[in-house]
Amino acid sequence: MQIINTVSDLRKAIKIWRDSGETVAFVPTMGNLHAGHLQLVSQAKEKADRVVVSIFVNPTQFGVGEDFEAYPRTELEDQQKLEDACVDLLFLPAVADIYALDALTTITVAGVSEDYCGAFRPGHFSGVATVVCKLLNIVQPNMILLGLKDFQQLTVIKMMVRDLNIPVEIIAVETVREPNGLAMSSRNGYLTEEEKKIAAQLYKTLCGARDAILAGAKDYIEVEQQALRVLQQAGFLVDYFSVCRGSDLKKAKPEDVDLVLLVAAKLGKTRLIDNIYFYK
| Residues of the shown chain interacting with ligand PAF in the complex, contacts defined by CB under 6 A | 28-30, 58, 61, 128, 131-132, 150, 153
Degrees, nearest 5: CA angle 16-18-23: 125
Q: Is 270 left (phi over 0), alpha (psi -120 to 50) or beta?
A: beta
**Residues 34, 37, 210: CA angle, nearest 5 degrees:** 95
Closest CA to 60 of 103, 17, 18, 92: 103
CB of 128 to ligand PAF, least distance (A): 5
Distance of CA 127 to the CA centre of its chain: 13
Closer CB to ligand PAF, 116 or 220, in the complex: 116
The minimum distance between CB 197 and ligand PAF, in angstroms, equals 25
Nearer to ligand PAF among residue 88 and residue 150 (C-beta):
150
For the beta carbon of residue 63, count every other beta carbon within 10 angstroms. 14
Contacts of 134 (CB under 8 A, 6+ apart): 98
To the nearest whole angstrom, how small is the minimum distance from the Cβ of residue 153 to ligand PAF? 6
The amino acid present at 255, given as its one-letter code, is E
Residues linked to residue 171 through DSSP beta bridges, in sequence order: 145
CA 128, CA 83: separation in Å to the nearest integer? 26
Cβ atoms of residues 42 and 85 within 8 Å: yes
Residue 18 phi/psi, 5° resolution? -60, -45
CB of 243 to ligand PAF, least distance (A): 24
Query: Amino acid letter at 36?
Result: G
Q: How far is the CB of 30 from ligand PAF (least distance, A)?
A: 4
Beta bridge partners of 260: 244, 277
CA pair distance 277, 258, nearest whole angstrom: 8
CB nearer ligand PAF, residue 139 or residue 209:
139
In the complex with ligand PAF, which residue's Cβ is closer, 25 or 30? 30
Residue among 37 and 210 whose Cβ is closer to ligand PAF: 37
Residues serving a catalytic function are: 37
| Single-letter amino acid code for the residue at 200 | A
Residue closer to ligand PAF, measured from CB, 50 or 124: 124
**In the complex, what is the shortest distance from the CB of residue 195 to ligand PAF, in angstroms, rounded to a whole number?**
22
The type of residue at 37 is H
